[in-house]
Structures are given as structure tokens and as C-alpha cells.
């Protein structure tokens, strides 16, 4: 075991967390399908209101996270054989190093925060989240090994000195990244620029990120609502500071990318650059934002509507679309190549029935 794996295992052991049992061998397609369905749909048996901040809210959110766990084993995931062209396309995506490092950091940050929690069910839910980040890292590592993609050296992962702060920063970063990843992932799927088997292998990972930010938004909302007012003010200030910190960090990153000749240094352009790496078809900012919003709604549609959803980034995307209406109107009449993709979904082996319906009810607002 490498040093950082030892560190993560020690953090798990220190709080008495046992990793979940996973079935041996290759699962049958029906079992796989069933597990994927279970992970994307969950409704509480609690009757009536689930007041945010109530013990029932906390209990049901933790139960949802436990019961939607998908027991796939990274080692049995099938990596399809790729043609030399396709292999080159996959290997040249500029995301593998940063994806592995992000998962490595997230698992340790969530585990460190879990260790500070007094409520066993919340601690177990956050620890399971940490363990799933560890599994994402394993999935990515197996994939790059299978395709012979060379990664740079891993950074030194450290246990954070202020676990709550890092939990907030990492959680809100996941809310931002997942929102755009949902759209880009769907773009890759619809464009058939990559083999469908490869895209679908990552589907459980993508849905897990949706569960993670659902858990995060609800735990933050629960904490907000259950704190006495003085501590609540301090917590709100921490949340505001976390958003400022993330905005600053991303601005610095965008500037350094510009300085290194990667993109123009603007975040929307970075997203558009990513879009160009997953599809050969031109898609505008408007089309991509629409797709991200649709995918965001689709992925959350199967979970109990009484839970809080992450709302800040979708609200900002809607605001951007609203403000950009004059330009969109000006472009009316121009051919919009992405329209058929944005308006039509596609059924896949991962059961997209819930996917293609919009949420019937408005869910409460979260982070």
C-alpha cells in the first residue's frame, strides 16, 4: 500500500469504520441493472413533511445514502478494447491527473471531517462518502493502467487541520464540478465520440457524485437549521468564506492556465474547451448550459422531493441564460446543431426512465 492509502486506511480504522462488503466476481447484467436503479431512485417511507433540520430529516438523509449504495467492485469493471485512434483520443483528455488527485484529496478530507462528528449515523454517511471517493480513485487508476495512460506523480495528501472548513470547500467544489460534469458526460454519450461501453462504465461513478452532493446539501441544510443563532451566524460566515475561497482559487487557476497557454483563462471558456474534447460537434455556451441544467434535474429526479437539492450553481446557470437572452434572440435563425441533443434523451442500459422525466415537484433549496 502506498503512503496515502495507508493514511486513508488509518483514518477509517481510527473511527471504527468497516468498508462495505462487495460481492465477488462479475455480477449478472440484471444484478448490475438493479444496483444502478437502486442507486438513482429513493423515496422515504416517512409520511408527511420532512422538516429541514429535524431529526427525521437527518435520519432519512443518512438512510437514503446508505440504501442507495451501489456495491460494484472496481476490479471487475470491464474496460473495452479501444482502437489506436480511440485510445489516443482517451489518453489525450487533459483530465486524468487532476481527476485522480481530486479523488485522493476528497477521500481524506471527508474522512477527516467524519472523524470529528459525534452523531454515529452522520459520521457513517460521511465516511461512506469518503470511501466512495477512494473507490473512484481506484476506478480511475485501473482505467489508466488498462489503457497505459501515464500519470504524473501524485501530490502529498495531507489530513486537513480544519476538517469542517475543508469539508465545506470540497463539498461546494463538488457541487460546481458535478453540475458541469453531468452535462459534459451526457455530451460525450450523445456524440458517440467515445465507445458507449466506456462511457457507461463511468455511469455509476457519475451518479455517485450526484448522491454525494445531495448528501452534502442536506447535511449543510440540516446543520444550518439546527444550530443556535450565534453558532448559526458563524456557520453562515464560514459558508460565505468557502464560496469566496473557491471563487478566488478558480480565478488563480484560470490565470495560470492562461499564462501557460491553456485556453483564454475564462472559466466558461475552460468548460467550452472541455466540451470540444468530448464531442466533434460544435456546441455553444447556451446549448451546453441547457444540457447541464437538464442533466442536473434528471439525475436528482429519482430522489425524495422533500430533500434539499444543491441549487446555487443551477440558479447561476439559469441567471446567465436569462441575462444572455438578447444575444440568444439575435442568433435566432442561425442553425443550432446541438438542438436535437438538448431536446432528446437516449435510453441506455443503465435505466434512464427516471432520467428522462423532469422533477414533478420543486425541491427545497440547498447549497
212 binds Fe ion (CB under 5 A): yes
135 binds Fe ion (CB under 5 A): no
Q: How many residues form the binding site for Fe ion (CB under 5 A)?
A: 5
Q: Which stretch binds Fe ion (CB under 5 A): 74-82, 205-213, 220-228, 243-251?
A: 205-213
Alpha-helix runs per DSSP H in the chain? 3-14, 29-40, 55-67, 84-91, 96-114, 120-146, 163-191, 196-201, 203-226, 229-259, 267-278, 285-300, 312-323, 325-330, 339-343
Stretch 40-69: interaction string toward Fe ion, x if CB under 5 A: ------------------------------
Cβ atoms 77, 147 nearer than 8 A: no
Q: Which stretch binds Fe ion (CB under 5 A): 98-106, 181-189, 229-237, 346-354?
A: 98-106
Decide whether 132 or 186 has the Cβ nearer to Fe ion.
132
Name which of residues 265 to 284 contact Fe ion (CB under 5 A): none
Q: Which stretch binds Fe ion (CB under 5 A): 97-105, 156-164, 308-316, 359-367?
A: 97-105
Q: Which stretch binds Fe ion (CB under 5 A): 99-107, 184-192, 255-263, 315-323?
A: 99-107
Residue from the set 60, 124, 133, 295 that interacts with Fe ion by CB under 5 A: 133
Decide whether 62 or 290 has the Cβ nearer to Fe ion.
62
Distances (CA, A) of 210 to 77, 95, 97, 176, 301: 20, 19, 22, 11, 11
136 binds Fe ion (CB under 5 A): yes
Cβ atoms 266, 321 nearer than 8 A: no
Q: Which residues contact 357 (CB under 8 A, 6 or more apart)?
A: 298, 301
Q: Compute the least distance from the CB of residue 58 to Fe ion, in Å.
A: 20
Q: Which residues contact 128 (CB under 8 A, 6 or more apart)?
A: 20, 65, 66, 69
> What is the end-to-end Cα distance of the chain in Å, rounded?
36
Q: Which residues bind Fe ion (CB under 5 A)?
A: 103, 133, 136, 209, 212
Amino acid at each position: 500500500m502506498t503512503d496515502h492509502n495507508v493514511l486513508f486506511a488509518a483514518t477509517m480504522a481510527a473511527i471504527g469504520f468497516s468498508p462495505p462488503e462487495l460481492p465477488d466476481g462479475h455480477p449478472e447484467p440484471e444484478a448490475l441493472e438493479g444496483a444502478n436503479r437502486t442507486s438513482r431512485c429513493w423515496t422515504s417511507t416517512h409520511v408527511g413533511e420532512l422538516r429541514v433540520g429535524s431529526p427525521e430529516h437527518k435520519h432519512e438523509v443518512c438512510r437514503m445514502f446508505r440504501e442507495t449504495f451501489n456495491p460494484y467492485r472496481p476490479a471487475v469493471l470491464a474496460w473495452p478494447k479501444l482502437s489506436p485512434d480511440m485510445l489516443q483520443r482517451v489518453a489525450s483528455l487533459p483530465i486524468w491527473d487532476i481527476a485522480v488527485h481530486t479523488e485522493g484529496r476528497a477521500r481524506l478530507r471527508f474522512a477527516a471531517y467524519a472523524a470529528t462528528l459525534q452523531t454515529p449515523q452522520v459520521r457513517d454517511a460521511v465516511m461512506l462518502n469518503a470511501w466512495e471517493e477512494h473507490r473512484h480513485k481506484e476506478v480511475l487508476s485501473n482505467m489508466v493502467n488498462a489503457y497505459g495512460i501515464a500519470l504524473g506523480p501524485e501530490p502529498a495528501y495531507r489530513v486537513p487541520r480544519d476538517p469542517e472548513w475543508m469539508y465545506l470547500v470540497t463539498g461546494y467544489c463538488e457541487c460546481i464540478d458535478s453540475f458541469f460534469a453531468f452535462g459534459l458526460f451526457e455530451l460525450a454519450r450523445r456524440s458517440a465520440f467515445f465507445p458507449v461501453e466506456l462511457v457507461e462504465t463511468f455511469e455509476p461513478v457519475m451518479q455517485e457524485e450526484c448522491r454525494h452532493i445531495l448528501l452534502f446539501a442536506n447535511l449543510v441544510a440540516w446543520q444550518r437549521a439546527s444550530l443556535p443563532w450565534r453558532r448559526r451566524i458563524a456557520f453562515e460566515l464560514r459558508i460565505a468564506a468557502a464560496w469566496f475561497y473557491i471563487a478566488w482559487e478558480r480565478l488563480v487557476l484560470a490565470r495560470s492556465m492562461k499564462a501557460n497557454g491553456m485556453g483564454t483563462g475564462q472559466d466558461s471558456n475552460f468548460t467550452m474547451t472541455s466540451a470540444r474534447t468530448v464531442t466533434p460537434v460544435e456546441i455553444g455556451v447556451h446549448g451546453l448550459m441547457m444540457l447541464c441544467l437538464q442533466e442536473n434535474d434528471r439525475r436528482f429526479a429519482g430522489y425524495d422531493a422533500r430533500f434539499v437539492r444543491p441549487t446555487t450553481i443551477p440558479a447561476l446557470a439559469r441567471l446567465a441564460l436569462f441575462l444572455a437572452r438578447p444575444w440568444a434572440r439575435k442568433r435566432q435563425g442561425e442553425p443550432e446543431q446541438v438542438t436535437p441533443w438538448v431536446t432528446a434523451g437516449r435510453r441506455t442500459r443503465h435505466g434512464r426512465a427516471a432520467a428522462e422525466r423532469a422533477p414533478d415537484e420543486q425541491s427545497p433549496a440547498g447549497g
